[in-house]
Amino acid sequence: MKIFTVIGDPIVHSKSTRMHNNALQVLKKDAIYTRYHLKNKAKLKEIVQKFDGANITIPFKEEAYKIADFCDESVKQIGSANTLINKDGKIYAYNTDYLGFLKAIENFFSIKNALILGAGGTAKALAYALKSINIEVAIANRSSVRFKNLNNYPCFLYDQLDLNTQFDLIINTTSAGLHDESLPCEERILKNIFQKTKYAFDVIYSRETSFLKLARENGLKIKDGMQMLLWQGVFAFELFLECQKTEEIYKAMEMALKLP
């Protein structure tokens, strides 16, 4: 029997166990998927080696890249991995977050450029995803320290943004709104940008954030991070089990998320 896990800190909130276990059951795979609460990143490699494969979540995605023996090109470019496979004593690293995001925005049409709010690991994965389909990317954040990791993209502090620029898509990758009603930046700035924007996406999936609510009220087509979560899980499952039954995996994972 194969054993997979999701590793993070905290981990109790993770929806990956129910998504993957339902898919394993529906597809009749001889495998289980657990979760592992890791405190010390120095132990990541040792723990990963105990499993056939692992999803890696906050705050270990960058460390996951560092401990890998072989990295997918996307992992090298993004600098982080969320899916590790342990095969013949070697660790193989993939990033399915960026693939999940691309699937999630498939029904957003004619996007030429995008503004990403936030400059952390997720911003970097999404910038890479957009660039891979020839969408121009700009990044805005409340502080500039993380801009050094994003030197392929124009980066701005919020009050440096040219509010006359038109962005077809605006994406919130900050944690603002995850547990409260805060916005990633001043409402005035968002309202100005929204006037010329078609689509808004938020990577947060547990609730409608103030960012998405404001975008909806300003007439934008909106989407939260649920589809991204689902699709990153589907792609990870395909890698773990070397199984291409994409539609069945998706349906099983979607069903698992609807359960109370």
Interface with ligand NDP (CB under 6 A): 58, 97, 100, 118-123, 141-143, 146, 173-176, 178, 182, 184, 203-205, 225, 228-229, 232
- Which candidate, 132, 122, 149, 135, places its Cα nearest to that of 203? 122
Task: Provide the token pair at 224.
Answer: 């939260």
Q: How far apart are alpha carbons 248 and 260 in whole angstroms?
A: 21
Contacts of 66-72 with C-beta under 8 Å, sequence gap 24+, read: 67/91, 68/92, 68/93
Give least dist CB 180 to ligand NDP, A.
8
- Give me the least distance between CB of 178 and ligand NDP, in Å please: 5
Least Å distance, CB 98 to ligand NDP, is: 10
Which of 61, 103, 124, 223 is labelled catalytic? 61
Q: Which is nearer to ligand NDP, 174 or 197 (CB)?
A: 174
Nearer to ligand NDP, 19 or 48 (CB): 19
Cα-Cα-Cα-Cα dihedral of 228, 229, 235, 238, to 10°?
A: -150
Q: How many CB atoms lie within 10 A of CB 98?
A: 26
Whether residue 39 lies in the annotated active site: no
The residue (of 93 and 119) whose beta carbon lies closer to ligand NDP is 119
* Dihedral over alpha carbons 144, 74, 59, 101 (to 10 degrees): 90
- Closest residue to ligand NDP: CB criterion: 120
Q: Which residues does 111 contact at the CB level (< 8 Å), separation at least 6?
A: 105, 135, 168, 169, 198, 199
Which of residues 85 and 139 has its CB atom nearest to ligand NDP in the complex? Answer: 139
CA 8 to chain centre: 14
CB of 88 to ligand NDP, least distance (A): 29
Which residues does the annotation mark as catalytic?
61
